Chain A
Amino acid sequence: AQSVTQPDIHITVSEGASLELRCNYSYGATPYLFWYVQSPGQGLQLLLKYFSGDTLVQGIKGFEAEFKRSQSSFNLRKPSVHWSDAAEYFCAVGYNDMRFGAGTRLTVKP
């Protein structure tokens, strides 16, 4: 069955530390891949997307993601986290329709 999985429900990192949020998908072909961020009480904002081409994608707010076909993964990274990055992050997969992961909540410690 087609699915998208975010294995980590909640992650806590210290401000200034690096961050990696995981996303795995299960689809027969390479789908469109997205990362969205949701601040408390807000809608979802697109951080970055991958359709084809270079497997390392740059997004807004200093985020990047790498598509790895062999691992069916699209992990989100940031080299140095800021307190304002505290939010919920959703991976999404587009293939005939759009499926969202359950989300990873990021807490940033001072």
Chain B
Amino acid sequence: DVKVTQSSRYLVKRTGEKVFLECVQDMDHENMFWYRQDPGLGLRLIYFSYDVKMKEKGDIPEGYSVSREKKERFSLILESASTNQTSMYLCASSFRQRQETQYFGPGTRLLVL
């Protein structure tokens, strides 16, 4: 079974803090994704990575950056957290193509005060 893990289930940060969300997958998948989930809006893609050190912006990249130094690990960085970044963050991975089955981590619920 594919396993995608996220470093924290719940996180509370203050406005202006730098926040790191980590994601690790154990199935040698090429692609990794970061989504943001808000009620009524479904999942919105923030960034995705198709290879080590390669990334592409998704639909809502503003205020976020990412890092993929190793194939199994994909980090989401909030350079200066703001209250409107309070949300559920979901990491996912897929084998080779973006449109293939994506496997999700348990999510990180971030509260920015």
Judging by beta carbons under 8 Å apart, are B100 and A43 in contact? no
Binding site of A, secondary structure by majority: helix, strand, loop or mixed?
Answer: strand
Instruction: Report, nearest first, the 5 A-B pairs whose CB atoms are least far apart.
Output: A94-B99, A43-B104, A102-B42, A44-B104, A100-B43
Q: A43-B90, A44-B90, A103-B42 are in contact. Are A98 and B107 (CB under 8 A)?
A: no
Verify B4–A43 contact, CB threshold 8 A.
yes
CB A15 to nearest CB in B, in angstroms, measures 25
Residue-by-residue, is A71-97 near B (CB-CB < 8 Å gives 1, otherwise 0)? Answer: 000000000000000000010101111
A53 close to B (CB within 8 Å): no
Q: List chain B positions with a Cβ less than 8 A from chain A.
A: 4, 9, 33, 40-43, 45, 90, 92, 94, 98-107, 109
| Chain A residues with CB below 8 A from B90, complex form | 43-44
A43-B4, A103-B42 known; A98-B109 Cβ under 8 A: no
Is there an interface contact between A43 and B107, defined as CB atoms closer than 8 Å?
yes
Q: How many residues of A contact B (CB 8 A)?
A: 23
Q: Which residues of the other chain, A, contact B107 by a CB distance below 8 angstroms?
A: 41-43
Cβ-defined partner of B100 (8 Å) among A9, A32, A36: A32
Residues of B within 8 A of A98 (CB): 33, 45, 94, 98-99, 102
Tell me if B42 and A90 are in contact (CB < 8 A): yes
